[in-house]
Structure 1
Amino acid sequence: MKQAAPVPFHPSTPQPLTYTAVLIVLGLTHLLNDLIQSLIPAIYPIIKEAYALDFVQIGMIALTFQIAGSLLQPVVGYVTDRRPMPYLPIVGMSFTLVGVASLGFAPSYGVILVSVACIGLGSAIFHPEATRLARHASGGQQGLAQGIFQVGGQAGGSLGPLFAAFIIVPLGRSSLAWFTIAALLAIVLMRWTASQHVLIRKHMVAADASLAQDAAATIRPRSRRTVIVGLTVLSLLMLSKAAYIESFRSFYTFYLIERFGVSIQTSQIMLFIFLLAQAVGVLFGGIAGDKVGRHRIIWISILGPLPFALLLPFADFFWTGILTVAISLIIASAFASILIYAMELTPLHVGLIGGVFYGLDFGLGGVAAAVLGGLADTIGVESVYRLCAFLPLAGLLTWFLPRIEDDAILRRRAENRKR
């Protein structure tokens, strides 16, 4: 059984529209969603002290949050591939609102687990449909669209530690309730993007009818083997990326406190710098993928951090900051290219692929947090970072990734031929 190939660009077909305003608003909603998510790892040092938790229990909080945020995403993507539900992300953000409100006043460890599960569930509902709308609004500039959408998420994720350092640490955990305002604002913005979905779909139907005239494909349909091998390799690359990033997201603050004796606020600011560098990296990675191809970006972004990762456990505080920024910039550029590469392998299942790969990002990160938490209790946080330094070696698996010519490269070649 073979999968239909994407319709290639042809010079005689009309260019699809890029809905820049929709992409920017989607990026803002992603920022608000991921801001709330990022508060969870940012307050780990606070709740660890308040509830006398060990690293295994911290890892279980991360696992609960990220498993809740991963398991439902492929299901939501599969369902919405068949029946788009542009208002569904509003339902997801309602779960997030309840979760962040209850987390601020959780009386026990069990309630903390339920609260983070609600926030994870909200994120699981949000991502697949929002990813689909970003693709539809891209006008064929998939890297740019995913870059804008994901830079919002990364920027929101980077703000969590900053808010934790300057609001939650001084005012206490109950100040988390103020972040329900972010959830309410996201709901308002998502009502507008959902209303734009109808307009975008109408244009897409007209564009698809025109493109169908040129569907005598010059690209052969991708075989089942190509799709399976490609998705398997991409999933393994996601595993290495998610595990290494999770070592920072969940344990970087503890590493800095233990190794350099810095304050909680200083460690949160350093985590903010790491996450902010991710936001920059994901945008440039998406744009570069449109120009030079996803395959090259995946090579660079997964394997590229290796020398910096190997040096990190031996660096002083200043160079730890420099190396951390370099690692974050490079490795963050991977996700947009991995996601779009997977969508181009299976172009009829955009929602499902979005759900699966966002789910993998959450789920694999949660499993990694639980495993790394156990290792940190056994061998220490510093030893964990020495082991994690070898994770970028998984980038060598890119050698086995099937070579496909993505839409951006095809478009540029077609335009060159037209000239």
Structure 2
Amino acid sequence: MVGCVGCVRCVQRINAPNEPNALNELSGLDVNTSTETPPAAKVSPLTMSNGGASKANVGQLALLTLAHLADDFYAGFLSPLLPLLKERLNLSLVMVGALPPIFALSASGSQPLMGYLGERVGSRRLVILGVAFAALFMSCIGLAKGFASLVLIILIGGAGVSFFHPHGAAMTGKMSGEHRGLVMSIFLMAGAIGISVGPLFIVALVSHLTLERSYVAAVPGLAIAVVLWLFLRDAPGDGQRREKPVFRKLFTAEMFPVFVLFLITVLRSTVVIAFTNFIPLMLQERGEPLEAGARAIFMLLFFGSLGGMWGGFLSDRFSRAKIIFLSSVLACPFFAAFLTTQGVTAYVLLAVAGAVIQASTPVGIVMGQEMRPESASMVSGLMMGFGWWFGSMPMPLLAMLADRTSMRTALLVSCSACLLAGALVFALPKGVRGRKR
């Protein structure tokens, strides 16, 4: 659900201290975003070399990428279980439609705040707690006795998702070297794989053990949290002096391009969230089993992760804005075509739609970090967190529309957000639109 991968202590150390701010380059302003250069004695063997990541960095990236996979693995549990929860807890369609934005409020909407908090108290604890909370509480969805208890469970589980993400993205950007777009896409790909495999796993588990024993799924996530506790003690930024965060700098005129990028992210997220949460219900309307919904979510998100990797790769060679525009506009017809077909053809179209629309996910995050390198952690939370949360807000309205028409009609309406996202690319300043890495 989270786009939907790392840890960092201080936002001013996300990028190299002398790395220029993209917006300052465009405006001609000479603004120094760092007050001091860390002395050589403080440089850790985990820090970046000029040519790319060191062996130690690769190991840290691999471990944190695994953690992202696990964190999003549990974030994927809610959507495929919605048909079962609807029947077991006697929920109305509007109540079901309210669950995604409630979960997104905790899992995504609080990510900028978690980014700010991590800059004050350090990232290591939040990274470990994030994986542990997501594993433990999202696995307990089957223990809910009513709507209120279900909301409480997904709020706490969502907080675990939120703890992890902004620091993961910021650290990945710092350690990426000359291939930031590609490395970020691999990082995000791991999360997308997790959130695509999670539905298959939890549906198979509850089909075998019953919904009430879904808590068994927590075991692998808790094991990964222990591994993080053992091997993240020397993560970059841990133990260093924390500088004052630059939270107020987010609310300046220079943030306009970032907020345009944020709106694009919101619109694209709306489409992905709508299809992820409502496809199982649409297939249930057709009389198809619970496993069909899990397979559809897997096709959408797994191939979306592959698309994100290629999008990041291409964005290192071509204009990032062009990748975002083409990704947004070209996804719309594939989503619409999926809704008009069935069988194998429908799954293929859904896979293509997911790959196309998710191709720009890492691109948007990297663009935001390049625009505000001194606020990379909070910008990452804005793109990955707030974007997903705001994108989930239309879900109750779409559920009401589905209640009066059909789930297929509601999903078709949501596709229009792709075209709006493509149009908003032209609102970005020309210097940003035409800029390559």
Q: 2: CA distance between counterparts of 1:106 and 1:377?
A: 25
Whichever residue aligns with residue 399 of structure 2, its letter is: G
Matched, 1:377 2:403: yes
1:209 matched to which residue of 2?
none
Give the aligned partner of residue 353 of structure 2.
327
Does structure 1 residue 399 correspond to structure 2 residue 435? no
**Cα pair distance change 1:319/1:86, threshold 3 Å:** same
- 1:136–1:200 CA contact under 8 A, matched in 2: no
Deviation at 1:201, TM superposition (A): 9.7
Kindly indicate whether residue 344 of structure 2 is the aligned counterpart of residue 318 of structure 1: yes
Equivalent residue for 2:96?
Answer: 58
SS at 1:305 equivalent: helix
Taking the aligned partners of 1:3 and 1:39, their CA distance within structure 2 comes to 47
- CA shift in 2, pair 1:401/1:6, >3 Å: farther
- AA aligned to 1:15 is G
Deviations 1:258-301 (A, max 9, x none): 24x32221222122111211121111112221222311211111
Is contact 2:107–2:385 with CA below 8 Å preserved after alignment? Answer: yes
**In 2, Cα distance between the equivalents of 1:5 and 1:264?**
55
- Tell me whether 1:258 sits opposite 2:276 in the alignment: no
1:414: which partner in 2? none
Name the count of aligned residue pairs: 383
Say whether the 8 Å CA contact 1:5–1:347 is kept in structure 2: no
Matches within 5 A, 1:2-401: 4=31, 14-18=50-54, 19-81=57-119, 84-192=122-230, 194-198=232-236, 225=253, 227-259=254-286, 261-394=287-420, 395-401=422-428
Root-mean-square deviation (CA, aligned residues, Å) is 2.8
Per-residue Cα deviation, 1:315-362 (whole angstroms, up to 9, x for no partner): 233332121111100001111011110111111001111111222233
CA deviations on 1:39-60 (whole Å, 9 max, x unpaired) are 1111111111111212111122
Whole-Å separation in 1 of the counterparts to 2:424 and 2:407: 28
Q: Percent identity?
A: 22
Q: Distance in 1 between matches of 2:401 and 2:390?
A: 16
State the distance in 1 between where 2:135 and 2:342 align: 40
Structure 2 gaps of 5+ residues are 1-23, 35-48, 241-250
C-alpha contact (below 8 Å) 1:78/1:349 kept by paired residues: no
Q: Distance in 2 between matches of 1:133 and 1:229?
A: 24
Determine if contact 1:3/1:346 at 8 Å carries over to the other structure. Answer: no
Matches of 2:164 and 2:216 in 1, distance apart? 21
* Distance in 2 between residues matched to 1:316 and 1:84, nearest whole Å: 49
Letter in 2 for 1:240: L
TM-score, normalized by length of structure 1?
0.83
Please list every run of 5 or more consecutive structure 1 residues that lacks an aligned counterpart in the other structure.
8-12, 203-222, 411-419
Residues 67/330 of structure 1: CA separation in 2 closer, same or farther (3 Å cut): same
Shift of 1:188: 2.4
Q: TM-score, normalised by structure 2?
A: 0.80
